[in-house]
Every structure is written in structure tokens, then in C-alpha cells.
Amino acid sequence: MAKKNAIKLFEDKLVRSVWDDDNEEWFFSIVDVVEILTESKDPKQYIKKMRSRDKELNLNWGTICTLVQMIGHDGKKREIQAADVKGILRIIQSIPSSKAEPFKQWLAKVGAERLDQLQDPELSIKQGLEDYRRLGYSDDWINQRLKSIEIRKDLTDQWKEHNVQEEVQYAALTDIIYQAWAGKTAKEYKQFKGLKKENLRDNMTNEELVLNMLAELSATSITKAKNPQTLKENAQCAQEGGNVAAVARRELESKTGKSIVSPLNARDYFTAQIDSKKEQLYLSIRNFILGTELLFGFSNEKVRVPYKNSYFIIDQIYYHIPSKRNVLLNIYLKNPTAAQKEKFKEQILFYNNKNKRDGDENAVGMFFIITEKKISVEYVIPYNFGKSAEDFGLPSPDIFDSFLQKSLADLRMI
């Protein structure tokens, strides 16, 4: 093992650590971690009690714990009980907590990944990409957001170098920047967007994000150039940086006629995106069904049917010419539950009692189920109608499925 500098695990308190070149892992002093976490005056005794309390931990102690040469408190090298990242996090989770054991193990795994990112910043960037993608952000927005994080880090580094205290003074300077270009403090901006604990920058539009990046980048450059030493001088630099973005904002708004500062937040944005995707999906399904040789005609879509002092919605209705019956189609972006299927059967029966035309057969239901892994069709037939779609002269779901896999492959991720 080759020794490396200690890293910060808990606030500003250092934990003795050694880097294992062979396995590319950090090993941390167990007693240091326990002492910091518990504030115990006798961490070694605490470890003994912890092991007696947690039988599973005690059973695996030989696997978790490794004797590693480190600098002792007396300045001399000695073998000290240490553990790698996963081992340390397992020990931390063994300190009495209301959390369930499965969650502790999950947290240990996540914590290990996050600590890895401290040593390899590229992992942190990749994790950020994955996190934002899971939330539904576009790649263009994600790239801008990650760049904005880098710019923000450069600015706070400058503040730190120029005697600005973290937390309160950082927040004060940030408010000055926001106020300069957006006309609002961070609190006012969040209220404007209907946010509470959410991150403001995660809820900015592309235009807002770019202008804020310009403001912070400008503030960084001005701070470097002017070398401020007091909070007042730093505040002036922040104001001037925000003013640069304010000029750009006014120019852009004069060309577009629209305000850049938007009440739109991520929740509203994703709702709009989902609605837009659904519209595309509805149109694609209609074009697909009408483009087959299965003799379907389009009747209507988004039909509101009065029902029990309320109503239900049928996404699309088709008329199958050979069987002389309406097919009520509902679209699902995940597998419908048994309860949803039963409710749909009730709605089909009600529809037939109130809406069936003379000469037509009973209508049946159909689910279009589109998930990331599968695209399929499933008929929903009330119990007293028959056993299968073929009983009514309707196309088999298998026939539909083969059409779907070929014709709607581009909708797999919607």
C-alpha cells in the first residue's frame, strides 16, 4: 500500500486514510470514523459494544476490518484497524438507527459510489447525467446544467480566495447576482416559480440557465481582475457580473417580445412534455391502425362519456367494419392494473347500454400498452360477451403485436 493524504469525510474533521495502489481503494481508520460520528470519549469501547449489539456485523468483522499501517496519535507508525469504503459505511449504519437494514445496505452502496466520485470527478459527471436523464431533462438542458455547475464552482472558489465566508455571505452575493439580471432574489425567484425546497437552477428554462451562467461567469472574471478583499468589494463585482447578463436579457427580450424570467418550473415543463408526447403517441397509433389491412375506421378520440354523476374518457374509438362493432381503445404507458381492467369492463357495459347504435354489435375494449420493454395490444372483454377477440371476428392480439413491433418501434421510450 502507498500512503496518500487524508480526505475529509465528516465536515472539516480529517480521518486517517491510506490508498491501496493494487486494489485502487481507500482504507480509513475505523476508530476515527466512530469517534467523529458518535463523539464518544472512548471510541474503542463503543466499537466493542457495537459489535456485541450487531451480531451480523460481528460475524463479518474479520472481512470488514483490515490491519493497516497508519500514523498513530503519538506520531509513530502502527497497525490500526481500518476498512474500505463499503466496510466503513456498513459500520456507520450499525450505529443505532430507525432505518431498516435493507435501506442501510442500499445506502452503503450509494455512499460508496459517491465517495468514489470524490476521487474521480468524471464519475460524478456521469452520475449527474444519469440522474437528470431519469428525471426527464433533455440532453441539451443537462449539458448546460452541468456546465453551470462548473461555472458556479469557479465563482465560489473565487469568493473563498477573496475572503467571502460560506453559507450566509455566499447566499447574499448570489442574491445580488439574481437581483441584477432577473430582478428577484433567490427566495423571490423560487416563489415566482412555485418552488419550496427544490433547487432553483434545476427549475430554470434554457434561457434562464444561460443568462445565469453568463452572470456568474462575468462575476468570476471581474473578481479575478479587481481582486476584491472585502465583502462590499465582492458585492460590487457580483453586481457588475449580474449587470452583464441583464444587458443580454434586455436585448433578447426586445427581439423576441417575451420575458426570459419564467414562472415555468420543472414539474410544469415535464407535464407539458408528457402531454406533447401523448399527442404524438395518439396520432401515431391512429395512423398505425388505419394503415393496417384489418379494416378499422376511425370514429373519435378523447370521448367524454357521462357516467354515475361524473364521466370517463375513452382515448380513441374505432369501428371494425367486418364485425360491425366499436372498439374502445385506451392507451397506457405502463401495464394496467387488475382494478383498471375491471373498471374498463364496467365502462364498456355502460357504453353499450347508452351509446350502441341499431344494427351494431356490442363494443369491446382494447388496451394499447407501451412500456420501455414491450409494445402490445390486449382486448378487454366483459364476461358475458364471449371468450376471445376471435369470437367477435376481431384481429388476434398476436397479429396486432407483430404489426406493433415493426411499425411502432420508435415509440418504445415514450
pLDDT, tens only, 55-111? 889 999 998 998 988 876 655 678 889 888 778 878 877 776 443 343 344 435 544
- Please determine, for residue 404, whether its predicted confidence score (pLDDT) is greater than 60: yes
Q: Report the SS3 class of residue 310.
A: strand
**Beta carbons of 270 and 138 less than 8 angstroms apart:** no
Q: What is the pLDDT of residue 115?
A: 56
Q: Residue 395 burial by CB count (10 A; 0-12/13-18/19+): exposed, middle or buried?
A: buried
- Please determine, for residue 118, whether its predicted confidence score (pLDDT) is greater than 80: no
Other CB atoms within 10 A of residue 177 CB: 26
In the 8-state DSSP scheme, what is residue 39?
-
The three grid cell numbers given for residue 197, joined into one nine-digit string: 425546497
- Please determine, for residue 325, whether its predicted confidence score (pLDDT) is greater than 80: yes
Q: Which of 227, 239, 245 is nearest to 159 (CA)?
A: 227
pLDDT, tens only, 287-301? 888 877 788 999 988
- Please determine, for residue 114, whether its predicted confidence score (pLDDT) is greater than 60: no
**Contacts of 232-241 spanning 24+ positions with Cβ under 8 A:** 233/162, 234/159, 234/162, 234/163, 234/164, 234/173, 235/172, 235/173, 235/176, 238/173, 238/174, 238/176, 238/177, 238/180, 239/176, 239/177, 239/180, 241/177, 241/180, 241/215, 241/216, 241/217
Among the ranges given (52-56, 123-127, 187-191, 247-251), the one the predictor scored with the smallest mean pLDDT: 123-127
Among the ranges given (94-103, 114-123, 140-149, 394-403), the one the predictor scored with the smallest mean pLDDT: 94-103
- Please determine, for residue 245, whether its predicted confidence score (pLDDT) is greater than 50: yes
Type of residue numbered 350 = F
Q: What is the pLDDT of residue 123?
A: 58
The three grid cell numbers given for residue 298, joined into one nine-digit string: 376511425
Residues forming beta bridges with residue 81, ordered by sequence position: 67
141-164 average pLDDT score: 90
Mean pLDDT of the residues in the chain: 80
Q: What is the pLDDT of residue 145?
A: 86
- Please determine, for residue 392, whether its predicted confidence score (pLDDT) is greater than 80: no
Q: What is the pLDDT of residue 402?
A: 66
120-136 average pLDDT score: 66
Q: What is the pLDDT of residue 151?
A: 94
Among the ranges given (51-65, 234-248, 377-391), the one the predictor scored with the smallest mean pLDDT: 377-391
Q: Report the SS3 class of residue 311.
A: strand
Spatial distance between the Cα atoms of 279 and 287, rounded to a whole number of angstroms? 12
DSSP state letters, 329-398: EEEESSPPPHHHHHHHHHHHHHHHHHHPPTTPPPPEEEEEEE-SS-EEEEEE--TTT-SSGGGGTPPPHH
Highest mean pLDDT (candidates 49-63, 328-342, 355-369): 49-63
- Please determine, for residue 199, whether its predicted confidence score (pLDDT) is greater than 80: yes
Among the ranges given (193-197, 243-247, 328-332, 398-402), the one the predictor scored with the smallest mean pLDDT: 398-402
**Domains in the chain, ordered, with CATH?**
7-119 (no CATH), 125-264 (no CATH), 273-411 (3.40.1350.10)
pTM score, two decimals?
0.49
Q: What is the pLDDT of residue 261?
A: 94
The three grid cell numbers given for residue 14, joined into one nine-digit string: 480529517
**Beta carbons of 361 and 392 less than 8 angstroms apart:** yes
Type of residue numbered 29 = S
- Please determine, for residue 309, whether its predicted confidence score (pLDDT) is greater than 80: no
Detail the DSSP E strand segments found in 255-352: 296-307, 310-320, 325-332
- Please determine, for residue 1, whether its predicted confidence score (pLDDT) is greater than 60: no
Q: Report the SS3 class of residue 300.
A: strand
Q: Report the SS3 class of residue 414.
A: coil
Q: The cell 441539451 sits on which residue?
A: 140
43-52 average pLDDT score: 90
**325-332 and 364-370 as β-strands: parallel, antiparallel, unpaired?**
parallel
Please indicate whether residue 130 or residue 318 has the higher confidence score (pLDDT). 318
Highest mean pLDDT (candidates 37-41, 140-144, 300-304, 367-371): 300-304
401-412 average pLDDT score: 59
Q: Among residues of the chain, what percentage have pLDDT more than 70? A: 76
- Please determine, for residue 357, whether its predicted confidence score (pLDDT) is greater than 90: no
167-176 average pLDDT score: 91
Q: What is the pLDDT of residue 331?
A: 84
Among the ranges given (11-20, 378-387, 405-414), the one the predictor scored with the smallest mean pLDDT: 405-414
Type of residue numbered 162 = H
Other CB atoms within 10 A of residue 67 CB: 11
Spatial distance between the Cα atoms of 243 and 65, rounded to a whole number of angstroms? 56
